[in-house]
Chains A and B, each alone.
Chain A
Amino acid sequence: MKHPLRWVTIGVGSLVAVFGIVLSTQMGTSPLFTGGPILDRTAPAFDLPILDADGARVDISSLAGKSVIVNFWNSWCLPCKEETPALKAFWARHANDPDFAMVGIVRDDITSEVRRYVRKEGLEYTIALDPKGRAALAYGTTGQPETFAISPAGVVTGKQLSRVSVNDLEALLGSARAG
């Protein structure tokens, strides 16, 4: 009864071949890190204390009507350190724009370390602390740095999950202004 065996072998071989081809098409892609489906949704609310501001807080409603860049970061993550100059330059360019706001949200860090970093780098935009990670969770972050753009109407119009350059930030701001 050789025929059944031959068919079984051919069948198994084809299955394996299909698997192999599928596997090979997926090489080089990182399947799991494209973040959550937050684009074009209402920006999740947050209400966080500002670093060294005697209890002053920043919340989403106070930013209504402005184009906002929100950057999740902390002081020990390597790409965060690498994107700091870009963030500084971008802030310097737009600091005087009344329709623009920028907030850096820190989570999973030690306050004294954050303070030291902010002082050392001379960061002048709003730095908010998210010690329990609630804002990070609301925005569906999977790590840091992650940067989001929010339109004046309060809709998330852009996001970038890797470190940003000045051009990236300009593009994000553009999407916020347009959206």
Chain B
Amino acid sequence: MTKLRAWPWIALAVVVIGALFVATRDDGGPTTVNDRVRSIGSELRCPDCQSQSVAISSTASARAVRADIRRRVEAGQSDGEIKRAFVDTYSESFLLKPSGSGLGWIVWGLPVLAFVLGAGGLVLTLRRWRREPRLIATEADEALVAEARNDR
């Protein structure tokens, strides 16, 4: 095998990481009032919808909630306080992201566990296949085949 020319690949990695770095540079999260209303609203279920968030629903109650969030944002409340106020009025079932505590481990933890097990199993199986010797015909096998051929 010829020597791996690493330089082009290192350069590639630098470019990719650089682009990602620029893209994810934290500018403090959503800054404008609108952005904050949208981001908080996207985690709250609209009161008379099935699963739509307050941020995207166009029902009257969703508009009322958005207006309320806006008032609270302008009054300086934090995201957590606003969400808690909403949950106080409406109960946990109106959060679109189920909490991680209590039963929440089922919905947050199980998939991760399943993935770890699945990926681990896959890697282990691939390793085992590489380690096991390939099937090679032994001389006894060759003799058997020759015999069968002659029998025909």
Contact = CB atoms under 8 A, between A and B. Distances in A.
B68 A108 contact: no
A49 B88 CA distance: 26
Given A134-B68, A137-B65, A108 B89 contact: no
B48 A36 contact: no
Contacts of A136: 61, 64
A141 interface: yes
A132 B61 contact: no
Contacts of B61: 108, 133, 136-137, 141-143
Nearest to A135: B64
Given A107-B60, A133-B64, A138 B47 contact: no
Interface string A24-38: 000000011001111
Contacts, number: 50
Contacts of A138: 89
B93 interface: yes
A140 interface: yes
Count chain A CB atoms within 10 A of each CB in B63, B67, B89 and give the residue with the most. B89
A142 B48 contact: yes
Contacts of A36: 89-91, 94
A108 B48 CA distance: 12
Interface residues of A, number: 19
B90 A108 contact: no
Main secondary structure of the interface of B (DSSP, over half): helix
Interface in A123-152: 132-134, 136-143
A38 B60 contact: no
Interface in B89-148: 89-91, 93-94
Contact of A108 (B50, B60, B91, B93): B60
Nearest to B60: A108
A140 B89 contact: yes
B151 to A, nearest CB: 34
Nearest to B45: A32
Given A36-B91, A138-B89, A143 B48 contact: yes
A136 B64 CA distance: 9
A37 B91 contact: yes
Contacts of B47: 137, 140-143
Given A132-B63, A133-B67, A140-B89, 11 more contacts: A31-B93, A32-B50, A32-B93, A37-B88, A37-B91, A107-B64, A108-B61, A133-B64, A134-B68, A136-B64, A137-B65
Interface of B: 47-48, 50, 59-61, 63-65, 67-68, 88-91, 93-94
Interface of A: 31-32, 35-38, 107-108, 132-134, 136-143
Shortest 7 CB-CB distances between A and B: which pairs? A133-B64, A108-B60, A140-B89, A36-B90, A142-B47, A137-B64, A143-B48
13 contacts: A36-B89, A36-B91, A38-B89, A108-B60, A134-B68, A136-B64, A137-B65, A140-B47, A141-B47, A142-B61, A142-B90, A143-B47, A143-B48
